[in-house]
Amino acid sequence: MEDNPKHQGQRRQLVDILLEKGIENTQVLEALREVPRHWFMDPSLAEWAYVDKAYPIAAEQTISQPYTVAYQTELLELQPGAKVLEIGTGSGYQSAVLLHLGMQLFTIERQQELYKNTKRLFSKLGLRPKKMIFGDGYKGLPEKAPFDGIIVTAAAPELPKDLLGQLAIGGRLVIPIGTQEQFMFRYTRRSQTQFDREKLGAFRFVPMLEDKN
Ligand code: SAH
């Protein structure tokens, strides 16, 4: 797939914007400078790929805004090789950023169409998550737990309790919670039973879908 100097220049400008908006982690900024976001969007929208906005993808979902991708990734505070669970594969852009950072990625998507398209795209791009799952992310992925990080990319009406139990000690869950109004939350596991909870900024995400089974 094509990635020309114009795209690269637009990504450098995007990274300047992310810096101004407060993203500090150098590795995260580097990943956003290197991963071609236009590969994860409909070709008809490609010219807007480096505008800091969410855009429609299939199945009435959206590709997250670059700032949101950078912000959530930064909040995970992970080192290369860490085990990460992503809920809401969607376009695969956030997944590609995590893979670029050297994470062992497990990712779950609820919409069959997106699951299939993104799986095909990943093999075309040579991107290799440990596992891509078509299913309901509410319950996480107990058979692969514990995770160093769990990132949820759709808004949950409330905290999905099962996810906390799948964090390693020291692991972090980054999740937007709320219906009309949504806030980013970060839960850090301190021990078997103790978690720190931080309420962060306001965001707008597509809602997490209920289990269809
Ligand atoms: N990370 C994606 C964001 C896509 S939007 C990207 O960068 O493109 C959120 C995604 O979460 C959608 O694709 C939606 O279908 C998916 N989703 C919603 N509810 C889900 C659930 N219960 N389990 C897994 N995925 C879900």
* Joined tokens for residue 206: 């597509």
Q: Is residue 22 part of a domain?
A: yes
Angle between helices 93-100 and 66-76 (to 10 degrees): 40
Distance 88 CA to ligand 1 centre (A): 3
Distance 151 CA to ligand 1 centre (A): 11
Q: Is residue 33 part of a domain?
A: yes
Q: For residue 213, what pLDDT is reported?
A: 46
Q: What is the dihedral of CA 103, 52, 202, 73, to 10 degrees?
A: 10
Closest CA relative to residue 197, chosen from 165, 175, 180: 175
pTM of the complete model beyond 0.95: yes
Closest CA relative to residue 208, chosen from 167, 177, 173: 177
| Tally of helices (H runs) and strands (E runs) in the chain | 6, 9
Per-residue pLDDT for the chain (213 aa), expressed as one digit of tens each?
899 999 999 999 999 999 999 999 999 999 999 999 999 999 999 999 999 999 999 999 999 999 999 999 999 999 999 999 999 999 999 999 999 999 999 999 999 999 999 999 999 999 999 999 999 999 999 999 999 999 999 999 999 999 999 999 999 999 999 998 999 999 999 999 999 999 999 999 999 998 654
Q: Which residues pair with 183 in a beta bridge?
A: 177, 202
111 CB within 6 A, ligand 1:
yes
Q: Is residue 213 part of a domain?
A: no
User: What is the Cα–Cα distance from 15 to 187, expressed in whole angstroms?
Assistant: 27
List own/partner pairs for 184-188 with CB under 8 A and 24 or more apart. Answer: 184/71, 184/72, 184/75, 185/159, 186/75, 187/159
Q: In whole angstroms, how far apart are CA 179 and each of 72, 158, 162, 208?
A: 19, 9, 20, 10
Give the active site residues. 64
Q: Is residue 199 part of a domain?
A: yes
- Total number of domains constituting the chain: 1
> Domain of 49: which CATH number?
3.40.50.150
Q: Is residue 78 part of a domain?
A: yes
Q: Is residue 149 part of a domain?
A: yes
Q: For residue 1, what pLDDT is reported?
A: 86
65 CB within 6 A, ligand 1:
no
136 CB within 6 A, ligand 1:
yes
By residue range, what is the domain housing residue 133? Answer: 5-203
Q: For residue 173, what pLDDT is reported?
A: 98
Q: Is residue 81 part of a domain?
A: yes
Q: How far is CA 10 from the centre of its chain?
A: 21
Q: Is residue 210 part of a domain?
A: no
